[in-house]
Amino acid sequence: MSSMTRKDFFRFAALVAAGMILSASASARSSHATPKRPVPDLADTVKGEYYGDIISDSRGSSQSDVTVTVTKAGPNTVTVTTSERLPAFTVKLTRAMQTIQQARGDNVFLVDQSKSPWSLDVTVDGASWSGTKR
């Protein structure tokens, strides 16, 4: 085995140091990975004002130009209020294909995202309303 010259030793040391620097750099990059974007809350997605008509009501005739306001009440939960006869209610939401709808309960809350603008259908306490987001 041949003996290493001083020049060879310094070349070897430089290569080892470069390898250590590259290894540390790769490790630092992997520990600072780009965080995943949070999934939007369904309540944030559907909140806003919708305009439409009461299309059936066990207490009276249909009515045009009724505003429905959807506000976030909690994670994936909204409160629905109207400018007319429909009572306010709160509902937990779930996603099903191109819709966001109530997760359970007797009230109907259905946002169809495949339509433009989005449509909203609401049924509560014997009355049904249908409209679009503006």
Instruction: Return left, alpha or beta for 53; rule: phi > 0 is left, psi -120 to 50 is alpha, else beta.
Output: beta
Whole-structure pTM value = 0.71
Q: Residue 18 — pLDDT band, cuts 50, 70, 90? A: low
| pLDDT above 80 (res 3) | no
Between CA 39 and CA 64 the distance in angstroms is 36
Could you check whether the bond before residue 117 is cis, i.e. omega within 30 degrees of 0? yes
pLDDT tens by residue, 27-80:
555 556 677 878 789 999 999 999 999 998 888 889 999 999 999 999 999 999
| pLDDT above 80 (res 87) | yes
Partnered with residue 63 across adjacent β-strands are 54
Whether 131 contacts 66, CB under 8 Å: yes
Q: Residue 95 — pLDDT band, cuts 50, 70, 90? A: very high
Whether 100 contacts 120, CB under 8 Å: no
Question: In the numeric block, which tokens belong to residue 86?
Answer: 């429909």
The predicted model gives 100-110 an average pLDDT of 96
State residue 64's pLDDT score: 94
